[in-house]
Amino acid sequence: MATIEAKESFPDGMPLGIHKLLDKYCMLLIIVALHIPTTGRTEDPTAAKSISKGDAWPALEWKKAAPSPFARVEWTAAVVDNKIYLFGGFTETLEASNQIDVYDPASDSWTRKKDMPTRLTHLNPANDGKAIWFAGGFKGKHPGPVTNEVWKYDIASDTWTPGPPLPERRAGGGLALVGRKLHYFGGYKADRDTNAGDHWSLSLNGGKDWQREADMPDPRGHLSSAVLDGKIYALGGDYGHDITQIDVKSCHRFDPATKKWNEIASLPQGRSHFESSTLVHKGRILIVGGRCNSSQPLRNIVDDLLQYDPKANAWHVVGAMPEKLLAPAAAIISGRIVVTGGGLNNPRPLTATTRIAQLPVDK
């Protein structure tokens, strides 16, 4: 006759062995959770929630204006004397252009300037009112090589002068001017795909070489840059470029006085391709369009106007365009927002359409 062995159990009737297995499983889950990396960056304890509600503008009334001379995307834009200067960009065949066109909203007209000395995309401008600086970029038709070239465009004389080259080849990084010092940060390395966190600065008071600064946290490319209240903002961007692009939420602010980066409220969703449609207006930063390819559900190309309030450290959607646009050019001039060009998909077909809307009086 077989002997039945008595087994120890808990009051719930579950055998002790099962309880021990469950305890080990729970402990394993805790250990894994404690060791999962967030995003490889240190979170600012003062960081606020990513999105704020109830701040939307009244619906904008968009009107078509004179189209750009040709359809293009990923161009560089700068505002000078209430006019938008547009540099280069990709054409429909993904050939890089070196054409410069200037749009005057007052007369609703375009004027051609002298061509750029080289055909470039994937670069941000830095504007001091008299000259516009450019650094790095992809050269020629996609996929073109990465360059470390630096150029200075003199607005009054419509001429170009080379500047001290970047220490390494870069494209898709941020460029910002604070005082008389240029800052370059992030972007893609020479292989067109590896993200860089390097941060260099160049004195415009006779500086001959770029100097090392504090590296940007969370290295990425295709990020946008802005300067507000003497601080530099690095907004959104991509992980990777040629192999896989993943839009990211990361946003950071650099204080040249302390030489430190701090994380600020993240974008509501990963976002990129808004470099030439990032605007500073009335103490806030406005993003127009772009791409959100890592959102759930997937949004891809977007039409919203997303605004950052540094006092509240929060993002909120304030409006929308009539159509979704990838990498358009945008500006706010005389109380009106101007949006031109961009990609209707990722990126083609491209558009040359220009639209203007009057901003609400108190916005």
CATH code of the domain in which 354 resides: 2.120.10.80
The answer as to whether 32 is a domain residue is: no
Report the alpha-carbon distance of residue 355 to residue 276 in Å, rounded: 15
How many CA atoms lie less than 13 Å away from 301 in the CB half-sphere?
17
Q: Are 266 and 50 in contact (CB under 8 A)?
A: yes
The answer as to whether 296 is a domain residue is: yes
Q: Are 84 and 331 in contact (CB under 8 A)?
A: yes
User: Tokens standing for 294?
Assistant: 């890592």
The answer as to whether 174 is a domain residue is: yes
The answer as to whether 2 is a domain residue is: no
Which domain, by its residues, includes 131?
A: 58-358
Could you give the 3-state DSSP secondary structure of residue 24? helix
pLDDT tens digits in sequence order for the chain, 363 residues long: 333 333 333 334 444 343 333 443 333 333 333 333 333 333 333 333 444 445 799 999 999 999 999 999 999 999 999 999 999 999 999 999 999 999 999 999 999 999 999 999 999 999 998 999 999 999 999 999 999 999 999 999 999 999 999 999 999 999 999 999 999 999 999 999 999 999 999 999 999 999 999 999 999 999 999 999 999 999 999 999 999 999 999 999 999 999 999 999 999 999 999 999 999 999 999 999 999 999 999 999 999 999 999 999 999 999 999 999 999 999 999 999 999 999 999 999 999 999 999 999 887
What is the pLDDT at residue 54?
59
Could you give the 3-state DSSP secondary structure of residue 32? helix
The answer as to whether 130 is a domain residue is: yes
**Cis peptide upstream of residue 143 (ω within 30 degrees of 0):** yes
Report the alpha-carbon distance of residue 275 to residue 289 in Å, rounded: 10
Q: Domain tally for the chain?
A: 1
**Cis peptide upstream of residue 297 (ω within 30 degrees of 0):** yes
The answer as to whether 28 is a domain residue is: no
User: Tokens standing for 71?
Assistant: 């359809």
Report the alpha-carbon distance of residue 313 to residue 330 in Å, rounded: 23
Report the alpha-carbon distance of residue 240 to residue 188 in Å, rounded: 8
Q: Are 202 and 245 in contact (CB under 8 A)?
A: no
The answer as to whether 274 is a domain residue is: yes
DSSP of 61-95, one letter per residue?
-EEEEPPPSS--BS-EEEEETTEEEEE--B-TTSP
The answer as to whether 40 is a domain residue is: no
User: Tokens standing for 35?
Assistant: 């060791």
